[in-house]
Structure formats: C-alpha cells, structure tokens
A and B are shown apart, each in its own frame.
Chain A
Amino acid sequence: GQQVMQIPQYQHVQEGEDFTTYCNSSTTLSNIQWYKQRPGGHPVFLIQLVKSGEVKKQKRLTFQFGEAKKNSSLHITATQTTDVGTYFCAVSGGYQKVTFGTGTKLQVIP
C-alpha cells in the first residue's frame, strides 16, 4: 500500500512561534488530506489538496502540495494553545480509502 512519512514526530513551540509539519512520499500522490486530532479526541478533516503546487489557507494555517505531488506541508503562523494536537496527513490508498501518516504531535507552551 501507499507509504507516507511524516516529520517531525513531536514539536514543542512557544505560543506565538510558527510551526510546520511535512509529509513525504516516494511516489506521486493523486491527492493529500490533512486532519487534526485534539488530545483525547477524534481526527477531524481540515483540507484536501489535489493540484500540483496548490496552496490553500485557513486563517493561520497554510497547506501546500509540492510541485511533483510527492510532498506536502502544513504551516501554522503564530501558534496558539488551541492549536495543540496531532496533525495527520493522509494519502490515497486506493479507491475511496486513505493511508494515514504517523502524525506530528504539537505542544504549545503558553
């Protein structure tokens, strides 16, 4: 099945600092999704990227799909304590199903 590596595994930042997580694949991806899971919660869909070089923004979150469609990043500007959680990328693993990355756990220090 589709394999995807997500880095870093953990990240601690001071509130107000920026944060970036990366998702890398050895093969070309048809699309990529990002999810957020709050501590003790369930994953919640954030966005899907489809086009090469695509950049989408949601308030302080910026999502980017690489030109070769083999990598993606999620960047958070000026982190807040509400950003705490684990961020997962998910790539197409066949018809209508996805393979999740191992996630990046973000801790924001007030």
Chain B
Amino acid sequence: DAEITQSPRHKITETGRQVTLACHQTWNHNNMFWYRQDLGHGLRLIHYSYGVQDTNKGEVSDGYSVSRSNTEDLPLTLESAASSQTSVYFCASSALAGVNEQFFGPGTRLTVL
C-alpha cells in the first residue's frame, strides 16, 4: 500500500544545530507540503513543492529550507535550530489533479533546547 513516512518521529536537539527531517511518500504524488502544528495555531504551511526541482515558501518559512531532487522525498532542514521551532511537524502530499486531498505523514515531534 502507498504511504507517507516521516523520520525521525521524535527529535531533541540544541539551539544552533542544523536539523533535517525526512519525508518520503510512495503515492507518486507531485505535490508535497511541510506544516508545523502548534497549540492555538492549527497547521501552518512552511514550504511546499509541486514537483522535482520546484520549491516554494509558505507562510512561516523563515529558518527553514527544503529541496526536491526526486518525486518521493522532501526533506525539511532547520538551518540553525531555535527554541521557537519546537513543534510537531507534518509532511503531506497530494495528487496533481482532481480533488487535492492531502495525505499526511505521522508527524515528527521536535524539541529544541
């Protein structure tokens, strides 16, 4: 069965360190998204991609970067982790056409100390 996975599921890091969160989908979806979820803010879009070599900034992109070298993966990098980036991170994907239902990964809980 097709799926979307994230790793690690939990991560503790220190302020200033570079952190990369992995997202891998086997739906063969063109669209991939990264969100962060914080209490009271719902899901906020960090970055998204419509296909290989395409990346776009979302509403809360400062301090984050992504790259899309293939269809399956969209890793999210925190260049220099800050305590404000402590959050739960969700990756999602959707098909190019039709109902753009988003399929979410299980999430990564990141703590920056």
Q: Which residues of A contact B (CB under 8 A)?
A: 1, 6, 33, 35, 41-45, 48, 88, 90, 93, 95-103
Contacts and interface: CB of A to CB of B under 8 A. Distances in A.
A48 B35 CA distance: 20
Contacts of A42: 90, 104-107
Contacts of B90: 42-43
Contact of A93 (B45, B50, B101): B45
Contacts of A98: 100, 102
Interface of B: 31, 33, 35, 40-45, 48, 50, 58-59, 90, 92, 94, 96, 99-107
A25 B95 CA distance: 26
B42 A97 contact: no
- The A interface is mostly helix, strand or loop, or mixed, namely strand
B59 A33 contact: no
Contact of B45 (A6, A44, A97, A101): A97
A100 B96 CA distance: 19
Q: Which of B31, B50, B104, B106 has the most CB of A within 10 A?
A: B104
A29 B43 CA distance: 19
Contact of A100 (B40, B42, B103, B107): B42
